[in-house]
């Protein structure tokens, strides 16, 4: 199984199209949630992922923008983006978002697990090894894939040894390979955010998991940033949402 891992697209059609155009050959597409929210192309991103994804779990923005739960716990900027997104979503888009499973789940034909936040709760951020420790110790899956933090990288553990890692995209390199040990090491891996990275690199982030060759490859891909920013501004969304795309924060 060679799975293309996408997470946190957040309505950024330009980033999503660039990622799909650059993606290496794969057998399946796994969506880790937050297809909408923040960006100016929610319906377009839903349409692409509805057609392309083979396994999906919902994100916190997906469930709020589709009306599954209120946005009372969101900050004012995120809440404004939610209200705009709810107002422009088509019935078809909203229905698809509502139907996405909560996760975690194991995609068909795979030994891995996918979730939006922590498998313990989709709204829980996994920011450090302490957050990851429980899953790494208890999981029956060698690889657990998650998003939500918008930071590409992850954690691994073998017995009492647990470490974090972050891809080294030196000199603007587009990929970084993580060999997956077969000695009982367990991994929690975040492919990064397609549409709104927050790790200091503005380029769209994604990953490819090859379960046969035991490799996970992290990628970064440039996209038409100005056009994505323009869609946000033309929608009347907060200027901060456009500016932060350039900052990668």
pLDDT tens for each residue of 185-235: 999 999 999 999 999 999 999 999 999 999 999 999 999 999 999 999 999
DSSP single-letter state for residue 105: B
**Nearest Cα to 206, choosing from 197, 215, 214?**
197
Q: Write out the two tokens for 96.
A: 């698809």
Question: What pLDDT does 73 receive?
Answer: 87
pLDDT at 172: 86
Name the burial class of residue 204, with classes exposed (0-12), middle (13-18) and buried (19+) by CB atoms within 10 angstroms of its CB: buried
Residue 126: which H helix or E strand, with range? none
Q: Mean pLDDT throughout 93-100?
A: 97
pLDDT at 216: 97
Give tens-digit pLDDT for 5-38.
999 999 999 999 999 999 999 999 999 999 999 9
Residue 92 pLDDT greater than 90, yes or no: yes
Residue predicted with more confidence, 70 or 106: 106
pLDDT at 41 over 90: yes
Given this model, what pLDDT does residue 200 score? 94
Of 105, 69, 101, 64, give the one whose Cα is nearest residue 85.
64
pLDDT at 48: 98
Q: What is the DSSP string of 161-182?
A: EEEEE----GGG-SEEEEE--S
Residue 201 near residue 135 (C-beta atoms within 8 A): no
Q: What is the mean pLDDT of residues 98-102?
A: 96
Domain annotation for the chain: domains and CATH numbers: 2-107+170-183+193-247 (3.60.21.10)
The predicted-structure confidence for 158-190, as pLDDT tens digits, reads as follows: 888 889 999 989 888 999 999 999 999 999 999
pLDDT at site 71: 84
pLDDT at 55: 98
């Amino acid at each position: 199984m060679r799975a293309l891992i996408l997470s946190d697209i957040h309505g950024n059609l330009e980033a999503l199209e660039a990622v799909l155009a650059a993606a290496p050959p794969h057998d399946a597409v796994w969506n880790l949630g937050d297809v909408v929210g923040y960006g100016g192309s929610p319906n377009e991103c839903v349409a692409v992922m509805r057609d392309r994804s083979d396994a999906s779990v919902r994100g916190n923005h997906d469930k709020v923008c589709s009306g599954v739960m209120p946005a009372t716990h969101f900050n004012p900027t995120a809440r404004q983006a939610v209200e705009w997104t709810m107002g422009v979503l088509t019935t078809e888009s909203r229905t698809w978002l509502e139907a996405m499973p909560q996760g975690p789940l194991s995609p068909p034909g795979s030994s891995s697990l996918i979730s939006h936040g922590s498998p313990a709760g989709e709204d829980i951020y996994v920011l450090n090894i302490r957050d990851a420790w429980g899953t790494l110790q208890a999981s029956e899956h060698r690889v657990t894939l998650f998003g939500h933090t918008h930071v590409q990288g992850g954690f691994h553990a073998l017995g009492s040894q647990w470490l974090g890692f972050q891809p080294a995209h030196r000199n603007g390199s587009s990929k970084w390979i993580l060999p997956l040990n077969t000695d009982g090491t367990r991994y929690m891996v975040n492919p990064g955010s397609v549409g709104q990275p927050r790790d200091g690199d503005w380029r769209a982030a994604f990953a490819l998991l090859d379960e046969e060759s035991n490799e996970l490859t992290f990628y970064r891909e440039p996209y038409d940033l100005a056009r994505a920013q323009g869609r946000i501004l033309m929608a009347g969304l907060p200027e901060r949402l456009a500016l932060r795309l350039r900052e990668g924060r």
